[in-house]
Amino acid sequence: MNKTELIQHISTEAGLNKTQATAALQAFETAVVSTLVNGETLELKGFGTFKITDRAERQGRNPKTGEALTIAASKTPVFKAGKTLKDAVN
C-alpha cells in the first residue's frame, strides 16, 4: 500500500472526503516527526511505539575499494510493534 492508497482507505473507513483524509494523515505525520525531533517517544497502545535510538560511531568499509572508514554516530527513528499489532499479523 502506498500513500495514495492509504489516503483512500482512511477516506473510506472514516467517512471522510479525500481532502480531509489527506489532512488527517499529514497531521499524524507531523505529530510523529515533531515528537521525535523533540526527543520524545510516541506510544500508541496496542499499535506500537515510535522513538529515537542513538547509533554509535563505528568502523565500516568502502565496498568498492575495501578502504576502512569511520561511520559517524547518528540518531535513527525506530518503530516497535505493539502486542495487538503483532498478534494480528501472526
Buried (b) or exposed (e) across 9-38, using 16+ Cβ within 10 A?
A: ebbeeeeeeeeebbeeeeeeeeeeeebbee
pLDDT confidence bin for 13, thresholds 50/70/90:
very high
CA distances from 65 to 41, 61, 68, 72 (A): 40, 8, 9, 19
Does residue 7 contact residue 25 with C-beta atoms inside 8 Å? Answer: yes
Q: Where are the domains of the chain?
A: 1-39, 41-90
Measured distance CA(75)–CA(57) in Å, rounded: 11
Q: Scanning the structure block, which residue is given the C-alpha cell 520524545? A: 40
Q: What is the pLDDT of residues 16-59, one digit of tens each?
A: 999 999 999 999 999 999 999 999 999 999 999 999 999 999 99
Structure confidence at residue 15 (pLDDT): 94
pLDDT for 74 equals: 96
Share of the chain above pLDDT 70, in %: 100
Residue 57 has a pLDDT of 96
What is the amino acid identity at position 8?
Q
CATH top-level class for 41-90?
few secondary structures
State the average pLDDT for the chain. 95
